Amino acid sequence: MTGATRVLVLNSGSSSVKYQLIDMADGARLGSGLVERIGGGEVPDHTAALDLVAEQLAANGTGLDSPALAAVGHRVVHGGTRFTAPTLITDEVLQAVRELVPLAPLHNPANITGIETTRKLRPDLPQVAVFDTAFHATLPESAARYAIDTATADRYSVRRYGFHGTSHQYVSRRAAQLLGKSPESVNVIVLHLGNGASAAAVAGGVCVDTSMGLTPLEGLVMGTRSGDLDPAVLLHLHRVGGLSVDEIDDLLNRRSGLAGLCGDNDMREVTRRLDQGDPQAKLAFDIYVHRLRKYVGGYYAVLGRVDAVVFTAGVGENAVPVRAAAMAGLEALGIELDPARNSARSREPRLVSREGSRVAVAVVPTDEELEIARQTFSLVSDLG
């Protein structure tokens, strides 16, 4: 090591690129930014988004050419069965991430673009991949396996991998801290509701179930993704509707979810229309919340005892009506939301449940970038 202590983190999501430059010596955030609504008019794709990020960093005098930079940490969404820990990126690792593209078509390509762009600018700099799937490697077989023929499943590596793991890990620990308890002593349900959305059941710091599966398509209703449906829907669309496999893929990943139901993938827009009495937006909202509640109930049963339900990511942190509707009428489960606390705006981790609610309800802003920076710096420090 050269004594360099800064880590640049690139978090490419399906609709946004977030970045942070953190000095790990003192935790100082030296630069951060967000390019969102990728795929919209102004930012056509992730390459354009990364150009904007590089420009912003250079304008701040904290460009990639800085000798104080120790490493770049990348969020990589799919790590398959192979990657269950932060990994130094080599040609061979990059190739393996490329081979996983079919399992995360909206994400791994963006992550690869970030890695390649960085390499071009700083070929000497260590780059580390921190995988969304890693935190879910602890799922018991009963939760990880689908009930299909075992030999077929094994042959094609078909199982539940789960995603948003870095967020679920960070948020579940931070929630324990908010409750004044150790992560080992609490059971929490984390609801990561961004453009992509997933739920996780975390028992004593260990993930025991999660809603996304082989790919980030399963589970909750998302911005443009359907989440759960009868697998026979695909067969029906193919056999009776004549849709090709690629058309069905596009339908379920890009033209479903909130966007498919009401034409808007952004919850800000959906709730604005809801307030104006738009019936299409209302139905989309209701379907979104109904699915969410099914997972809360399901994970309650999986965990047996729940200490907290924790909301995070763009929708979870900001959408007051989503939290209100998701937690409504659950008093019998010991879940009591406090309407005033729920409506109060804050960027801090906070409780939004009533004093005395048996199960706490919390909002914990996720910080995937900090978690990725920690894991990245720890790995490059160990390399010496």
Ligand X SMILES: CC(=O)OP(=O)(O)O
Ligand Y SMILES: Nc1ncnc2c1ncn2[C@@H]1O[C@H](COP(=O)(O)OP(=O)(O)O)[C@@H](O)[C@H]1O
Least Å distance, CB 255 to ligand Y, is 16
Residues in CB range of 180: below 8 A, 6 or more apart: none
Q: Sign of the CA dihedral 149, 152, 155, 158?
A: negative
Burial of 251 (0-12, 13-18, 19+ CB in 10 A): middle
132 binds ligand X (CB under 6 A): yes
13 binds ligand Y (CB under 6 A): yes
DSSP tag of 44 = -
Closest CA to 194 of 214, 164, 219: 164
Using DSSP's 3-state secondary structure scheme, residue 139 falls into coil
If the CB atoms of residues 192 and 323 are measured against Mg ion, the closer one turns out to be 192
267 binds ligand Y (CB under 6 A): yes
- Indicate the angle between helix axes 46-59 and 108-121, nearest 10 degrees: 40
- 191-210 binders of ligand Y (CB under 6 A): 194-196
If the CB atoms of residues 126 and 162 are measured against ligand X, the closer one turns out to be 162
Binding mask 182-221 toward Mg ion (x if CB under 5 A, else -) reads ------------x---------------------------
Given ligand X, Mg ion, ligand Y, none, residue 372, with its beta carbon under 5 to 8 Å by kind, binds none
Given ligand Y, Mg ion, ligand X, none, residue 319, with its beta carbon under 5 to 8 Å by kind, binds ligand Y
Tokens at residue 44, please?
């056509």
Least Å distance, CB 105 to ligand X, is 11
If the CB atoms of residues 16 and 118 are measured against ligand Y, the closer one turns out to be 16
Closest CA to 27 of 5, 57, 53: 5
Alpha-carbon distance 34 to 17, whole Å? Answer: 6
Using DSSP's 3-state secondary structure scheme, residue 216 falls into coil
Using CB under 6 A, pick the residue from 15, 108, 256, 376 that binds ligand Y.
15
Least Å distance, CB 30 to ligand X, is 24
Closest CA to 289 of 199, 172, 379, 384: 199
* Bridge partners, 18 (sequence order): 11, 34
Binding mask 352-371 toward ligand X (x if CB under 6 A, else -) reads --------------------
126 binds Mg ion (CB under 5 A): no
Q: Cite the active site residues.
A: 132
171 binds ligand Y (CB under 6 A): no
Closest CA to 88 of 130, 121, 118: 130
Judged by CB under 6 A, which stretch of 76-84, 120-128, 243-251, 314-322 contacts ligand Y?
314-322
Judged by CB under 6 A, which stretch of 36-44, 110-118, 190-198, 315-323 contacts ligand X?
190-198
Alpha-carbon distance 337 to 343, whole Å? Answer: 10
If the CB atoms of residues 86 and 196 are measured against ligand X, the closer one turns out to be 196
If the CB atoms of residues 86 and 223 are measured against ligand Y, the closer one turns out to be 223
13 binds Mg ion (CB under 5 A): yes
- Residue keyed to tokens 């390019």: 35
Burial of 242 (0-12, 13-18, 19+ CB in 10 A): exposed
11 marked as binding residue: yes
77 binds ligand X (CB under 6 A): yes
Given ligand X, ligand Y, Mg ion, none, residue 266, with its beta carbon under 5 to 8 Å by kind, binds ligand Y
Binding mask 97-116 toward ligand X (x if CB under 6 A, else -) reads ----------x---------
Alpha-carbon distance 255 to 95, whole Å? Answer: 29
- 216-to-163, 220, 309 alpha-carbon distances in Å: 6, 10, 22
DSSP tag of 360 = E
Strands 69-76 and 127-131: parallel
Using CB under 6 A, pick the residue from 16, 111, 357, 375 that binds ligand Y.
16
State the number of binding residues for ligand Y (CB under 6 A): 16
Given ligand X, Mg ion, ligand Y, none, residue 77, with its beta carbon under 5 to 8 Å by kind, binds ligand X
What length does the chain have? Answer: 384
If the CB atoms of residues 219 and 349 are measured against ligand X, the closer one turns out to be 219
Residue positions forming the annotated binding site for Mg(2+) = 11, 368
